[in-house]
Amino acid sequence: MNNVSGNFIFLDLMSLQINSYPIITIFWNIFLLAVPFFLGRKLFLFWQKTKFKSTKDKFLGTLLFLLWLLFAPNAAYIITDSRHISGFCPENYYQICAQNAWMIIVFFSYAAIGWIGHVYLINQLRPLFKNLYGRMGEMLYLWLISPIISLGLLLGLVDRWNSWDAFLHPFGVVQSARHYLSDWTYFKNLLIYTIFLYLLYWLGGIIFTPRIKLKK
């Protein structure tokens, strides 16, 4: 009997929503945000230990970086979940309704986690690229990472692909990615997202964190 009651409580918790947005999804997305942090840390420590001297070290380092790259867009993706605030006061469009006003700060704070995570994720590997390839390599990394993250974000947001679908459905992911280079509607989204991720990174670098230096 206690078991059944416990199961009902668990199901009730799993079904909790904010404006039709499942609360469990918040925890899932934060977990997906933590994955690239873990991979980036592993890559950082692996470089400190090996300095990528052997071919095997370089291969493993590249593999860790590619895995990090697959999950890195999950931070910026959280920012887009602020879209679920839409319609939170359906009966009072121009004014705030008292019963749901709290949703504004909740979704803003949730989106801010994505912004902070996005900035820290990029900075996590920035000193590594600088040490491996010099100042030019660091700048190339900073210029290329935002378009790549924007593409990954849109593949999740618009095309509904997950990070692991790169392994499960690689041809489908590639086909979807091609649209962002061949179709103006898709490319416009990619361009605008890239511009604003550059802006958010630049502002976040000023607000959230000082430059991280990697000891040799």
How is the chain split into domains, by residue range? 2-76+102-207
State the pLDDT confidence band at 211, using cuts at 50, 70 and 90: low
The more confidently predicted of residues 84 and 141 is 141
Q: Are 127 and 212 in contact (CB under 8 A)?
A: yes
Least confident range of 33-37, 86-90, 189-193? 86-90
Q: Are 82 and 157 in contact (CB under 8 A)?
A: no
pLDDT in tens, 168-193: 999 999 999 999 999 999 999 999 99
Tell whether the model's pLDDT for residue 118 goes beyond 60: yes
| 3-class secondary structure, 54 | coil
Q: Are 127 and 213 in contact (CB under 8 A)?
A: yes
Q: Which of 4, 141, 154 is nearest to 73 (CA)?
A: 154
| 3-class secondary structure, 101 | coil
Q: Which ranges of the chain would DSSP assign to H, the alpha helix?
A: 2-14, 23-50, 55-71, 73-80, 102-157, 165-168, 170-182, 184-207
| Residue for token pair 């990090």 | 68
Rounded to whole angstroms, the Cα distance separating 155 from 83 reads 17
Structure letter (DSSP) for residue 23: H
